[in-house]
Amino acid sequence: MTAVTARQIVCPHCAATNRVPADKPADKGKCGKCGQPLFTGHPLALSGVVARRHLESSDIPLLIDFWAAWCGPCRTMAPVFEKAAAQLEPAVRLAKVDTEAEPALAQQFHITSIPTMVLVHRGQEIARTSGAMPLGGLLQWVRQFV
């Protein structure tokens, strides 16, 4: 069995794929292309090509919150998701998809209700849950899969 020598981490700023040595703390890494931190402690907004890069090129699990501005439970979930990003990174990247602005992404994931959180790793869906939840519930739900 070969040990993992590096992880691929996609930059939240420029979407460049970075190789981070496995023995280095990922949360201290900076992008080799744009120089920005690889982790910010905040969810990133996903769209089109950027979403594809994070879904297909990253070794970090991706938790996506599918939401819409008109959705009351989505607005309730937003600050919870923000706090979760600060606690789950760098083990998990958190991202948000506005289903009104990115209907193709919502369709790709067969989103039928919002808010829906989908946990993806290396392009494969691991788990999903729908509805708003408290921070403790969200953290517990994610940690059982990663």
The CATH number assigned to the domain holding 102 equals 3.40.30.10
**Would residue 5 count as lying in a domain?**
no
| Annotation marks residue 71 as catalytic | yes
Q: Output the pLDDT for position 3.
A: 60
Q: Is 127 exposed, middle or buried (0-12, 13-18, 19+ CB in 10 A)?
A: middle
Average the pLDDT over 3-14 and give the result.
Answer: 88
Residue range of the domain that includes 127: 41-143
**Would residue 2 count as lying in a domain?**
no
Q: Is 5 exposed, middle or buried (0-12, 13-18, 19+ CB in 10 A)?
A: exposed
Q: 146 near 89, Cβ under 8 Å? A: no
**Would residue 15 count as lying in a domain?**
no
- Report how far residue 84's alpha carbon sits from residue 134's, in angstroms, rounded to the nearest whole number: 10
Q: Which DSSP state fits 27?
A: G
**Would residue 10 count as lying in a domain?**
no
Per-residue confidence band for 27, with pLDDT thresholds at 50, 70 and 90:
confident
**Would residue 52 count as lying in a domain?**
yes
pLDDT in tens, 66-91: 999 999 999 999 999 999 999 999 99
pLDDT higher than 60, residue 1: no
**Would residue 107 count as lying in a domain?**
yes
pLDDT in tens, 86-106: 999 999 999 999 999 999 999
Per-residue confidence band for 2, with pLDDT thresholds at 50, 70 and 90:
low
**Would residue 33 count as lying in a domain?**
no
Per-residue confidence band for 23, with pLDDT thresholds at 50, 70 and 90:
confident
Q: Output the pLDDT for position 25.
A: 86
Q: Which DSSP state fits 41?
A: S
Average the pLDDT over 125-146 and give the result.
Answer: 97
**Would residue 20 count as lying in a domain?**
no
pLDDT higher than 80, residue 4: no
Overall domain count for the chain: 1
